[in-house]
Structure 1
Amino acid sequence: MMFYECPMGTNTPEDIVDKFNIREIVEYDRYCRDYNHYDEMRSLYSDDASVGVSWTKGGINNYVEGSKVNNAKAPAKHKIFDVIIWKHGNRAIAESIQSIQIRCPLEGDVVDLATHMRKHYRLEKREGTWKIISAEPIYEKDTMFSAYADGTFCPDRKELEKLRPSYANLMYRRIKYGGHPDDTCAGEDKPETIEKLYRESSIWLGVMEG
């Protein structure tokens, strides 16, 4: 079965403590990312952790260093609405439902970018402590407008139509800032990408045969 089919509402006292700790880690991860506490953020990940987002894929150290650069150019704020956790033994899947909010200069104006997504985490309990093993986004939709009522920002529709619908505006801004966004991330515009991620996570969690 898929991890999201695991029964809910049957937590043991140990499960409750574990899920509380996992939720704290996930929420603190985003807090540290937003407010430049990079050493603290790094401590939440295992040394062999991997992170995939629209702007990079690789090891945790690469992600931390890239986050420093990105936050200096266009600070992002992650607003978390819910954290859902599925636990099996010393492994867990957590999904954080969130919005990424960025205000930044673009094309002679100042814009507000809002990207709605789920952050998909795998965590493992090692030597009594939960650590993040991997983290990936599942993009849903995004919008970008001038921050001002009399703003002049108007993106090129033809350029936007070449990009993935679930995070086209995020990619558009990245390109305009000289970046090369990854267009292979999981997203609701390509359900097969979510199916693949969920199947791999279910096998990793140990609730589905490989």
Structure 2
Amino acid sequence: MPTSLEDRLELRELVDNWVVWRDAGDWDRFATVWHPTQGWMTATWFQGPAAEFIAVSREGFERGVNILHFLGGHSADVYGDRAVVQTKMTISQRASVDGVEADVVCTGRFYDFCCRHEGEWKIVRRQPIYEKDRLDPVDPAARLELDTGLLNRFPSGYRHLAYLQTKAGFTVKTGLPGLTGEAVLRLYDEGAKWLAGSATAGEVGKG
């Protein structure tokens, strides 16, 4: 089915707006990128409806949680009023780890299930793919010793991000998609089914 350049530009703008408005704390506009009834967000520290994600993100922002995003290359598969959009990204977070201020950077992709709702593209489900990460003290002279037992509880694609977030008090989900493996293959299959007309955008709400 032919895809218009306008659709592709609108989908890119949708993804850009998600990052800019979320990181800036522009919560009213951030809410507009999501499908109003079906929006679903999965992250290392949160899995649930978009409205709840907005609320907890706002609470964290207001108490100083420092999570930022940066975008890179972008690809969209569009079929009629549905799309699967992948965008290269980095997630960066700053927090204290055992009394040492540290930055973690995780590189991966946003994998978005989108649909056209009342004439506008909206995100139905966002599932990040976590490819690799690293953790560094903000002060290069600082010494940071990691608990290898805790670190190795998490997949290699986001184990340092998960480590920092666990130390900061978050409960981090294991088994999320990485560069390779069953989880990401299952996600790709869910994306293909979404484009083919499946009733839901994968197994949202199931753990």
TM-score (norm 2): 0.89
Counterpart among 172, 195, 199 of residue 205 in structure 1: 195
Please give the alpha-carbon distance, in whole angstroms, between the structure 1 residues aligned to 2:119 and 2:197: 22
Deviation of 1:37 (Å): 0.8
Counterpart among 6, 17, 23 of residue 28 in structure 1: 17
Question: Match for 2:22: what amino acid?
Answer: R
SS in 2 for 1:166: coil
Question: Match for 1:102: what amino acid?
Answer: Q
Deviations 1:96-154, CA, capped at 9 Å, x for gaps:
10111122222111111101111110111122111111101111111001011211222
Question: Match for 1:24: what amino acid?
Answer: E
Matched, 1:74 2:53: no
Deviation of 1:73 (Å): 3.5
- Larger helix percent: 1
Runs of 4+ in structure 1 over 6 Å off? none
SS in 2 for 1:137: strand
Please give the alpha-carbon distance, in whole angstroms, between the structure 1 residues aligned to 2:145 and 2:102: 10
Counterpart among 64, 82, 86 of residue 77 in structure 2: 86
Match of 1:52 in 2: 42
Deviation of 1:198 (Å): 0.6
Deviation of 1:16 (Å): 0.2
Do the aligned residues in 1 keep the contact of 2:83 with 2:195 (CA within 8 Å)? yes
SS in 2 for 1:184: coil
Please give the alpha-carbon distance, in whole angstroms, between the structure 2 residues aligned to 1:105 and 1:162: 20
TM-score (norm 1): 0.88
Match of 2:119 in 1: 128
Q: Within 5 A, what are the aligned runs for 1:93-108? A: 93-108=84-99
Matched, 1:62 2:52: yes
Please give the alpha-carbon distance, in whole angstroms, between the structure 2 residues aligned to 1:113 and 1:163: 15
Deviation of 1:64 (Å): 0.5
Unaligned residue ranges in structure 1 (runs of 5+): 1-10
Counterpart among 147, 150, 160 of residue 138 in structure 2: 147
Q: Percent identity?
A: 22
Deviations 1:154-202, CA, capped at 9 Å, x for gaps:
21223212222111111111111122101131113x5110110110110
Please give the alpha-carbon distance, in whole angstroms, between the structure 2 residues aligned to 1:125 and 1:36: 25
Q: CA RMSD for the aligned pairs?
A: 1.8
Match of 2:205 in 1: none
Deviation of 1:207 (Å): 8.1
